[in-house]
Amino acid sequence: MASSTTARGVAAIVGVGPKLGRSIARKFAHEGYTVAILARDLGRLSRFADEIAREEKAQVFAIRIDCSDSTSVIEAFEGVLSLGFVEVLVYNAYHQPVSRNPTSFTDVKIDSFEKSLAVSSLGAFLCAQQVLPGMVGRRRGTILFTGQSASLHGIAGFSELCCGKFALRALSQCLSREFQPLGVHVAHIIIDGVIGISRGASASEGGDESETEPMMDPDAIARTYWHLHVQDRSGWTEEIDLRPSNHILL
């Protein structure tokens, strides 16, 4: 891979699909960053990279990653780090359950539970380990973790998701306390709502069109990720929760 020639560093977005990840990648490309987008489906990822590069006149690289596999993460980040200094890491990956319906605890399969934990927390741990040395050495950088309402409250029938997201939130807090004094901004973003498809995505990519909950605009959410990155050091956010204005709090 060719190294980045832009004045800014590299933004690595892990977990890029047709919704939020794609929008975050587009936003950072628009702001002048070389962007590395990572996910398991390299074919779809390459289409996103070509689309964003064309629209934003930016360098966008598609790199395959399996966040549950340490070897895959290390190999993927060898490619990312070859592009230049990784100034921004956004960890947006999570294990998509087979069904959105609740699963009785006694019916949860061990391999599925382990996979959810691995993608939500182990993958975040591994990705952060790859980029933190460079950030600390330069005393600048941003790491943003995507959470959900499941990061805060246990939900009956969703033990796989909740345990993984609880662990991710704990990791974010630990890294924040350790590395913010060294110049690295670490923040956890709680998405409390259903995200719609991003600009340019087809309806087939967006999933269930029968969704009745208020939809959150992924491009608007991506702007919040950008604002977190450019926050003044005198007032860094450690955690923020986002929800649509007509969302009913329980």
Amino acid making up residue 181: P
Q: Is residue 115 part of a domain?
A: yes
Torsion sign (Cα): 18, 189, 69, 37? positive
pLDDT value at 201 more than 70 = no
Name the pLDDT band for 33 (thresholds 50, 70, 90). Answer: very high
Q: How many Cβ atoms are within 10 Å of 152's Cβ, its own excluded?
A: 16
Mean pLDDT across the chain, nearest whole number?
90
pLDDT value at 5 more than 50 = no
Looking at the DSSP bridge assignments, the partners of residue 13 are: 37, 90
pLDDT value at 45 more than 80 = yes
The domain in which residue 234 lies consists of 10-97+107-196+214-242
Q: Is residue 207 part of a domain?
A: no
Q: Kindly state the average pLDDT of the residues 221-247.
A: 94
pLDDT value at 207 more than 90 = no
Hey, what's the torsion of the CAs at 170, 171, 172, 178, to 10 degrees?
Answer: 110
Q: Is residue 248 part of a domain?
A: no
The CATH number given to whatever domain includes residue 20 is 3.40.50.720
Q: Is residue 85 part of a domain?
A: yes
Q: Is residue 102 part of a domain?
A: no
pLDDT value at 39 more than 80 = yes
Cα angle 164, 166, 162; round to 5: 55
- The residue whose two tokens read 């649509």 is 244
Q: Is residue 146 part of a domain?
A: yes
Q: Kindly state the average pLDDT of the residues 156-172.
A: 90
> Contact 190/216 with Cβ under 8 angstroms?
no
Q: Is residue 120 part of a domain?
A: yes
Structure confidence by residue, pLDDT tens digits, 49-90: 999 999 999 999 999 999 999 999 999 999 999 999 999 999
> Contact 41/73 with Cβ under 8 angstroms?
no
The structural domain count of the chain equals 1
